Structure 1
């Protein structure tokens, strides 16, 4: 029986709902779905081994149709107690010896299973991973140097929390894991009870989350799935309970000893926010008992308004690596409210032992964003503030509590981005920043007016001076991925050029050379000869803009081509930052099924990464002039495309995904620049997201004109060009409910416009099934072909 998907369409104003078989695009497009992707990598502690992780192929529609439970903001496979849609899963793991560059072992997932969440042990000699099968998830280990795999005999895993579901012990002799508690659910629990919610003089201005709890029955089932116990297993099969059953959100073994830091959800659950914002307690356990309570937190469903808002109480609670079981966390000192005018927004706290009093270690002017641990008792701390787009970086001495400010800068100004600290793997997901001669290494993308030129530089911890010590070789895009020793001499580098796909190299700074560690072939040779041009141009107000123009091989002015523009709007607080270049002319020409480049093989030109900045300087908000700036951006791009001499701009299409879809519908509503559009998984009625969206902090009631002006739904009568709407029927992204596309379809259809709606069953915000992706390309190609025909004279 042919596989079906739901197509809702309106052709020439005549609405029709139908079931249709999945379609196949031309072979050149279809091959892109299964084209190989660069494996992920993970360097072992002590930098002995390199783990290459080959990702699984796209699932089938049957795979996506498996039973899925959506509760508390989670999507769960109730048969094997794992996330139903694991973001990164692998079909194969390869272990390379870094020194000899030899493959020591290849671990393949059995048929109808996949590998997830691989972790090196702290001693760097063992590898653990979870094997996900249809009805269970199991823990495996592989020990060097031969890395033969071994199944550990454990209780049934509860792997709902992904990589947080298990950890290596600090001595690398055990694995700690979450285990399922109950095997059956009482189907009658919570049924036939009234659903009651009440609010009394408390603001709960939260975003429009999906998959939330709705009934007492939901609460009961969520508890059944979420409940777990913390257990420990060694490699001889001895398995014992460490912590009794509870609703664990996370747990982390101490750097030394047997203490465990655990976060546990508490009732009453909230129906307004996902599980990670439920009430919770944070405790340290020793011998199965509470040794120290760190926090008791209420549900964070009433935090103040604003993107820099947070809840009161300890946040980001974590062990300090290489310490004698010290803890660090952060607390808001402005009640979590960005509107409160205070000098200290956040305070970093340190607990130097479970029986000590917490100490205030560092006052932050902005909101805490990250901490990186340096060898010895030092921390690299970062904070940032949304409304001003400012960030700062500090060095904190954990013993003396002395601090040094390295810089305060605008994080929008990418040309001055110093980069991020390079980190060595400590095992089990932990990392450390190596210090060499009082300096750490920062790896930067190297944004510049010439395009991205990645580099490596040192930061002197005493003087704060930066010194560039390496930069990508000419005509390549080479980026430092990880250190390969603790002396700062050898690094793992990912290298690519326009025509050469990314590969991993070993770089030795002292010898100034790179040795190839992998040799991956070109993943889509059919697209090897496409032409690429980096465009620089100006908007009508003088703002600098950029885009990348791609042309099929042999394009000429004798036969001008229709063109597809693909973009995503971004908000800025300064014109200087908005005009900066964020691409490299030397990166590999990636042709992804997810973007517009596949249509180069079908006679279309493509303009990708088209800059769509929305700027609001000073007291102005970017969205105050969203529509005007959006149209000006698009017009400038088309005018520049016309100057190439090979583009017929009277046959120009606009397209995008998510906020890019929102942009697409707005451009069709407020301009006549395009003959049609492709909008995937967008939100089109901003009154359905009344407490803010994207970079808009104001609520609908504070700025109703902005919400209405920016909503394509409210302007559907102005959309007089053909619009293809595509959406996943199970979209879980905040704000982009499937209803958004359905309502816009009905509005345009009812007003006599030309519109087609494709709803992919069982797909979320990003589509995954091979059949869905192929049909998506087929739909997009048919739309482009149908409405790109040259207009006949007369």
Structure 2
């Protein structure tokens, strides 16, 4: 389906927000149709937050010699979002350049050499360049990246060691429909690419007349599926999908020589570590109108990329049919082999997982491997009790296999010995996925000489390093541990300390073999504090000495002087709760109570202990964010960010007590800020995005706690998501009462508190289609409630256009000022 607003539309129409008003009698205004107005601008401090410079993204080279910095773009104009867009099989595509639309781009590339801080800037980029994926070559000397043009995707390469001059290495335009369209071969002298076929021709034209109806039919089979957006809807959509998915996979050298490997609707391609084979996955017909691309028929094969057999199919690994039937089990997976990947520490060994069909009434996996030349039977390398998540490869004696169960909220990590599978696996970790305090961290990896990630071992090979988020009762304090692989004992080498928030990025260990101390160990880390924006440093762990790598200036920040505190309090049932309290820079202890905005998002838990764990850090930089609640600090509001709203219950029935727990959590948060003298009980608003918006609507429907609400991109009628939502895995027909009680649409007659509804016109998130807000608004309006409904043209689930973001802030601060700061809410 092509979304293409005509350029003939007046400029005032293009840059307008569609605002539908439905105001209660107290405001003496009721609008019966949408009112088009120009985009509006909030107070200047909010504009400054939106326009604040972005901190660059950093990527370390495989050789650990250079740090690449990608300058990040500011918010695009709405005109950028309004460009033609195809919505096909769950994808959104720019038909002009065959790239995924709404992608984020960098604007420049710079390099810093860690040894002496020498800086280089990439030369000869066009003005206002849009840079897509940027990837180091395995030897760490070059970077390949996509230069995004209006009508093409150009593959560029630069040599960091030779002037950092960017040049295009092939005149073929790449096909970005399925993601990054290139990967390096291990020789660092060639790349595998997805290119648009030169003979593709013009796209299929839509029929000017119809020859009959569109029909779907089901003959007694269960084909349940969640509520997906942007699906194929017609034969013309099918033709468009096939046209834009058409790809030639080729090998291209740095001097531009190109050799074709495969053609078709190729969704995935990845060269083997030794550069002799390529994994190729091809989408096949028939297509579907009920599920997205991820469920389409898919053939997976290994092809030879050596002369003279270039492109020859070595082995077909699987040929999966269309999968329109989805099980409702939270651990359900697609039938057949999945998650193909190369073993990163071997020449050419392909690894995959598939469900253990012999284990009835349980969700578990088997993991297999096949070694080149792939003519022997696959070898089972792991038999899991849960679902396969990942493998971190080290060497023939060490690989870490992680399994997980969403249903059981459980995860385990095992050590296997790939060269001696007769040895039983060794369990390294097991915990509840809800237990953040007990998270041991994930293993640090480093790039090997072929560009693949492998475990980062200590010099003697006996230990690895773990990178943990460090959740604790004091907040998040990231850490680095050394794990002895034989004894399974850990030694803490580093932990972030107040008043900073330090995030380890890489470990460099040059200590002598057998050393168990921190001598000789350095960390590349990112440091920030409440007032200092993130920068990258190298830290000597033995001495604590810090060497500066980057010097990003702290952006102009209207939030300077804001106070931040992680607070703790309890719900009536004794569950521990927490939130981050922000106070405006002008506020002083002892001042009169402030109007307050509470911004939250409910989450489900199995235990009260897990629900009560603290998240976040009091020492993170208070960023000039343009989303969420922090901008309202500049207008005199206190902000209670992320007050925990835990919904606790047994597996499969968490939502049976959704409303009483939600209300109790909200009451506890209000009681705490009132007890502290921060807020006036009658001048508190509640806001949220997505599932948080759903929470807002329910709180307004079932309580009189708040003076106003702001609900962004939410879903309000759960019968429109009948096969499950969020953590609710039961269907509507198995839990009718729960779906009904949790749907604020059903209680629209009880919503007397003013509510501002905001929604992106092009919301692609499953279940939160704009119709949800439209029908909810109509219900409130028809029942005489006070509501305002704002539709942001071209915007997705999250809002990106600068005009849209500014208008969202303008709408929200006006709503809060009218109904909270200057409102007349009486005590409940």
Structure 2 residue corresponding to 1:462, chosen from 486, 496, 516: 486
The residue that corresponds to 2:430 in the other structure is: 408
2:369 matched to 1:357?
no
**Of 311, 328, 341, which residue of structure 2 is paired with 1:305?**
328
Change (3 A) 1:486 1:400: farther
Q: Does 1:34 align with 2:54?
A: no
| 1:4 matched residue in structure 2 | 16
Any idea what the Cα deviations from partners look like across 1:522-544, whole Å, max 9, x if unmatched?
Answer: 22333110122221000000000
Which residue pairs with 2:605 in the alignment?
572
TM-score between both structures, scaled by the size of structure 2: 0.92
C-alpha deviation, 1:109, in angstroms:
4.8
Counterpart among 433, 443, 447 of residue 455 in structure 2 = 433
Match of 1:150? Answer: 167
Matching residue within 315, 322, 328 for 2:345: 322
Structure 2 distance, partners of 1:471, 1:664, is 37
In structure 2, the partner of 1:103 is: 119
Deviations 1:454-490 (A, max 9, x none): 1100222222222211111332111101234687822
- Deviation for aligned residue 1:646: 2.9
**Structure 1 position 375, deviation (Å):** 4.2
- Change in Cα spacing, 1:108 to 1:394, as seen in structure 2 (3 Å) is farther
1:773 and 1:257, CA in 2 relative to 1: closer, same or farther beyond 3 A? closer
Establish whether residue 290 from structure 1 lines up as the match of residue 296 from structure 2: no
Q: 1:720 to 1:200 in 2, by over 3 A?
A: same
Return the match for 1:23 from 27, 40, 43: 40
Greater Cα offset, 464-473 or 76-85? 464-473
On the 8 A contact 2:368/2:380 being kept in 1, the answer is yes
Equivalent residue of 2:336, what SS?
A: coil
* Residue 393 (str. 1) matches residue 405 (str. 2): no
Residue among 583, 588, 591 paired with 2:616: 583
Match of 1:331 among 354, 370, 376: 354
Who is 1:261 aligned against?
Answer: 279
- What's the CA shift string for 1:605-632, capped at 9, x where partnerless? 1111111111114x57220000100000
After superposition, the C-alpha distances for 1:552-575 in whole angstroms (9 at most, x for unaligned) are 123244432110000110000110
Task: Tell me the distance in 1 between the aligned counterparts of 2:206 and 2:709.
Answer: 49
1:559 aligns with 592
Are 1:451 and 2:483 counterparts? Answer: no
Contact 1:179/1:228 (<8 A) preserved:
yes
Larger mean CA deviation between 272-281 and 681-690 belongs to 272-281
CA contact (8 A) 1:92 1:108 kept: no
Distance 1:49 1:193 in 2: 61
1:101-250 pair list within 5 angstroms? 101-106=117-122, 109-145=125-161, 146-163=163-180, 165-181=181-197, 182-187=200-205, 192=211, 194-243=213-262, 245-250=263-268
Aligned: 1:423 with 2:423 = no
- Provide Cα deviations, 1:400-430, integer angstroms capped at 9, x if missing partner: 1232111221110111100111121358974
Task: Name which of 640, 643, 647 aligns with 2:675.
Answer: 643
Q: Say if 2:560 and 2:585, in contact at 8 Å, map to a contact too.
A: no
In 1: Cα distance, 2:826 partner to 2:387 partner: 61
1:83 alignment partner, one of 96, 100, 115: 100
**Contact 1:112-1:134 within 8 A present in 2 as well:** no
Q: CA deviation at 1:513?
A: 2.0
Q: Distance in 2 between matches of 1:598 and 1:326?
A: 51
- The aligned runs of 1:40-55 (5 Å cut-off) are 40-55=57-72
Quick one: which of 269, 277, 281 aligns to 2:299? 281
Q: Which moved more, 1:126-135 or 1:140-149?
A: 140-149
CA contact (8 A) 2:632 2:813 kept: yes
SS of the residue corresponding to residue 415 of structure 1 reads coil
Q: Is the 8 A contact 1:189 1:220 kept in 2?
A: no
Residue 747 of structure 2 corresponds to residue 715 of structure 1: yes
- Specify which of 505, 509, 524 is matched with residue 481 of structure 1: 505
The offset of 1:790, in angstroms, is 5.0
Partner in structure 2 of residue 272 of structure 1 = 290
In 1, Cα distance between the equivalents of 2:397 and 2:790?
56
Please show how residues 585-604 of structure 1 align to structure 2 within 5 Å.
585-604=618-637
Give the structure 2 partner of residue 532 of structure 1.
564
Cα-to-partner distance string for 1:758-782 (whole Å, 9 max, x where unaligned): 0011110011100000000000000
Distance 1:201 1:790, change over 3 A: closer
Distance 1:747 1:188 in 2: 37
Question: How has the CA–CA distance of structure 1 residues 330 and 583 changed in structure 2, closer, same or farther, with 3 Å as cutoff?
Answer: same
Distance 1:611 1:415 in 2: 16
CA distance in 2, matches of 1:300, 1:170: 35
CA distance in 2, matches of 1:486, 1:174: 32
Relative to structure 1, the CA distance from residue 428 to residue 499 in structure 2 (aligned partners, 3 Å threshold; closer, same or farther) is farther
Count of aligned positions: 786
Q: Mean alpha-carbon deviation: is it higher for 632-641 or for 186-195?
A: 186-195
Partner of 1:751: 783
Tell whether the 8 Å contact from 1:493 to 1:506 is kept in structure 2 after alignment: yes
Instruction: Please say if residues 109 and 115 of structure 1, whose CA atoms lie closer than 8 Å, have aligned partners that are also in contact.
Output: no
SS in 1 for 2:330: coil
Q: Which moved more, 1:38-47 or 1:535-544?
A: 38-47
In the alignment, is the contact (CA less than 8 A) between 1:615 and 1:621 conserved in 2?
Answer: no
Gaps of 5+ in 1: none
Alpha-carbon distance in 1 for matches of 2:207, 2:376: 44
Q: Which runs of no fewer than 5 residues in structure 2 stay unpaired?
A: 1-10, 305-309, 512-519
Separation of aligned partners in 2, 1:520 and 1:391: 38
Matched-pair contact (CA < 8 Å) for 1:113–1:134: no
1:51 and 1:94 in contact (8 A); partners too: yes
Q: Do 1:168 and 1:428's aligned partners in 2 also have CA atoms closer than 8 Å? A: no
Determine the C-alpha separation between the residues in 2 that align with 1:170 and 1:288.
18
Is the 1:657–1:679 Cα contact (8 Å) retained in structure 2? yes
Instruction: Say which SS state the counterpart of residue 177 (structure 2) adopts.
Output: coil
